[in-house]
Amino acid sequence: METKSIATRIQNSGLFRTQGLIGGKWVDAYDGKTIKVNNPATGEIIAEVPYMGKRETNDAISSAYDAFNSWSKLTAAERSKYLREWYDLLMTHKEELAQLITLEQGKPLKDAMGEVTYGADFIEFFSEEAKRVYGDVIPATSSDRRLVVLKQPVGVVGAITPWNFPLAMITRKVGPALACGCTVVIKPSEFTPLTALAAAELALQAGIPQGVVNVVMGNAPDIGEALLSSTQVRKITFTGSTAVGKKLMAGAAGTVKKVSLELGGNAPCLVFDDADLDVAVKGTLAAKFRNSGQTCVCANRILVQEGIYEKFADAFLKAVQNLQVGDGFTEGVVQGPLINEAAVKKVESFVQDAISKGAKVLLGGKRHSLGLTFYEPTVVSDVKNEMLLAKEEVFGPVAPLLQFKTEEEAIRIANDTNAGLAAYIFTNNVQRTWRVSEALEYGLVGVNEGLISTEVAPFGGVKQSGLGREGSKYGIDEYLELKYVCFGDMNRK
């Protein structure tokens, strides 16, 4: 299908929104400036969206602040109904949303459909969790007192999200925020604003009151600055690079805001001699090549024990050879383009660095013949810890293989990084699964499994991979304040 005909189909569904959303109104940038959104698989321009800045963001904050007053006072059951309606609409429009994701982000349509379900699941889950925000009664230290703990919404939330999951990174934040009574100003990535706007359109259709959900996009540092400096914004929730996360954390100090950060990873994938080869290859392939290697939980270092190394490398190579690269709308394609030229240049520089330090390219190692930002699925062996490929997130379809001898050595290498988001282990030894899972300094561990993220489990990193957790019963705490209320003089008749 051509970009134009897909865009027309989505336009006909009413979900092709190209303006920001402030206080329930679709608006352009106040100075009329726009930015282009392109299809990374074809280079075609899909749309122009407003290039907004401080003024629009301040208005979005004011709308969210006003709406907080009434939204936070609804009963949990009322908010739950709105969220459920939003979930139903997201699922009803699953196909158009998936097409939008593939169009602006490039991932294969099947994966995009998976993202819509995964993203919508957060809204469904938190529509249910809304009703379970319990406070507490604490046994008092004197008989004339009663001590109560209330859980209350923090207030207006600034949610800044990346391009690699244009829907799910938003719903994972907005679901719990709205469930407990917060209102939001969303700032999606400049590369993937259309999915965010379509989701916001469906929030309006679900009847979620004006001002509860606002979307601004454009000048990221200016929008970030407006959110950070506002005393009305009580929390920043961010998913993106560690570098930007650190800036936001520092910026939030000025107004002492709550901060949740979902930052970059450097996931180790440990394959032990006693692993089931098929399970290890399948799991590693999924953990490495999902979204063309552009996820924060992608296996970044594949550590293979010496006894299984040759067998694993052979089988893995064969599996990678079969990955079909192309436009995400083409049947059978499992690897789309990278998001932009800068992403390809980064991958090229990491591979060159590894080659110059003695690594061997077993497969791929260059741009794909399709051109644009397509890169060949790549396997590199003889990777050493000092190479960029092992030290930093490559965020592309490059699988670096490293060899290790003992479990202790594998754990030491795995933990030798400032990141601590996801890790994977493949072994059939039950004691080892526990020992290694506990020793890994990571927020998530997959045991004999390469795809572990779900709305019902807590997602988040340790060390410089972030602060806080998203999803699950724990995720809603990030949007709540505890208030202790002491009732005195209770024995008076």
Instruction: By CB under 6 A, name the one of 16, 163, 350, 404 that touches ligand NAP.
Output: 163
Two tokens at 53?
């800045």
Is 20 an interacting residue with respect to ligand NAP (CB under 6 A)?
no
Alpha-carbon span 474 to 137, nearest angstrom? 20
Instruction: By CB under 6 A, name the one of 79, 173, 187, 346 that touches ligand NAP.
Output: 187
Instruction: By CB under 6 A, name the one of 220, 277, 447, 462 that touches ligand NAP.
Output: 220
Alpha-carbon span 477 to 181, nearest angstrom? 12
223-262: contacts with ligand NAP (CB under 6 A)? 224, 239-241, 244, 247, 262
* Beta strand 20-22 pairing with 233-239: unpaired
Our answer to whether residue 262 is catalytic in this structure is yes
Q: Contacts with ligand NAP: how many residues (CB under 6 A)?
A: 27
Is 265 an interacting residue with respect to ligand NAP (CB under 6 A)?
yes
Is 170 an interacting residue with respect to ligand NAP (CB under 6 A)?
no
Residue 148 CB, nearest distance to ligand NAP (Å)?
35
Residue 217 CB, nearest distance to ligand NAP (Å)?
7
Q: Which is nearer to ligand NAP, 129 or 392 (CB)?
A: 392
Residue 104 exposed, middle or buried by CB count within 10 Å (0-12, 13-18, 19+) = buried
262, 392, 470, 478: which is the annotated catalytic residue? 262
Is 421 an interacting residue with respect to ligand NAP (CB under 6 A)?
yes
Residue 125 · residue 456 · CB < 8 Å: yes
384-403: contacts with ligand NAP (CB under 6 A)? 393
Which residue sits closest to ligand NAP, CB atoms considered?
Answer: 224
Is 426 an interacting residue with respect to ligand NAP (CB under 6 A)?
no
Q: Which is nearer to ligand NAP, 3 or 161 (CB)?
A: 161
Q: Which is nearer to ligand NAP, 261 or 271 (CB)?
A: 261
Is 302 an interacting residue with respect to ligand NAP (CB under 6 A)?
no
Is 186 an interacting residue with respect to ligand NAP (CB under 6 A)?
no
Which phi and psi angles does 71 have, rounded to 5°? -60, -40
Is 189 an interacting residue with respect to ligand NAP (CB under 6 A)?
yes
In the block, which residue shows the tokens 């282009």? 36
Can you give the three-state secondary structure of the chain, one letter per residue? Answer: CCHHHHHHHHHHCCCCCCCEEECCEEECCCCCCEEEEECCCCCCEEEEEECECHHHHHHHHHHHHHHHHHHCCCCHHHHHHHHHHHHHHHHHCHHHHHHHHHHHHCCCHHHHHHHHHHHHHHHHHHHHHHHHCCCEEECCCCCCCEEEEEEEECCEEEEECCCCCCCHHHHHHHHHHHHCCCEEEEECCCCCHHHHHHHHHHHHHCCCCCCCEEECCECHHHHHHHHHHCCCEEEEEEECCHHHHHHHHHHHHHHCCEEEEECCCCEEEEECCCCCHHHHHHHHHHHHHHHHHCCCCCEEEEEEEHHHHHHHHHHHHHHHHCCCECCCCCCCCCECCCCCHHHHHHHHHHHHHHHHCCCEEEECCCECCCCCCCECCEEEECCCCCCHHHHCCCCCCEEEEEEECCHHHHHHHHHCCCCCCEEEEECCCHHHHHHHHHHCCCCEEEECCCCCCCCCCCECCCHHHEECCECHHHHHHHHEEEEEEEECCCCCC
Strand-pairing partners, residue 270, are 303, 425
Residue 193 CB, nearest distance to ligand NAP (Å)?
8
Span near ligand NAP by CB under 6 A; candidates 41-49, 69-77, 263-271, 480-488 = 263-271
Residue 223 CB, nearest distance to ligand NAP (Å)?
6
Is 264 an interacting residue with respect to ligand NAP (CB under 6 A)?
yes
Binding mask 117-136 for ligand NAP (x = CB under 6 A): --------------------
452-471: contacts with ligand NAP (CB under 6 A)? 461, 466
Span near ligand NAP by CB under 6 A; candidates 72-80, 133-141, 182-190, 197-205 = 182-190
Residue 436 CB, nearest distance to ligand NAP (Å)?
22
Q: Which is nearer to ligand NAP, 184 or 296 (CB)?
A: 296
Span near ligand NAP by CB under 6 A; candidates 126-134, 162-170, 329-337, 357-365 = 162-170
Q: Which is nearer to ligand NAP, 72 or 340 (CB)?
A: 340
Instruction: By CB under 6 A, name the one of 28, 66, 88, 190 that touches ligand NAP.
Output: 190
Instruction: By CB under 6 A, name the one of 249, 296, 436, 480 that touches ligand NAP.
Output: 296
Q: Which is nearer to ligand NAP, 227 or 383 (CB)?
A: 227
Instruction: By CB under 6 A, name the one of 164, 291, 292, 381 that touches ligand NAP.
Output: 164
User: Using CB under 6 A as the criterion, which residues of the chain lie in contact with ligand NAP when the complex forms?
Assistant: 160-164, 169, 187, 189-191, 220-221, 224, 239-241, 244, 247, 262-265, 296, 393, 421, 461, 466
Catalytic residues, by residue number, are 262
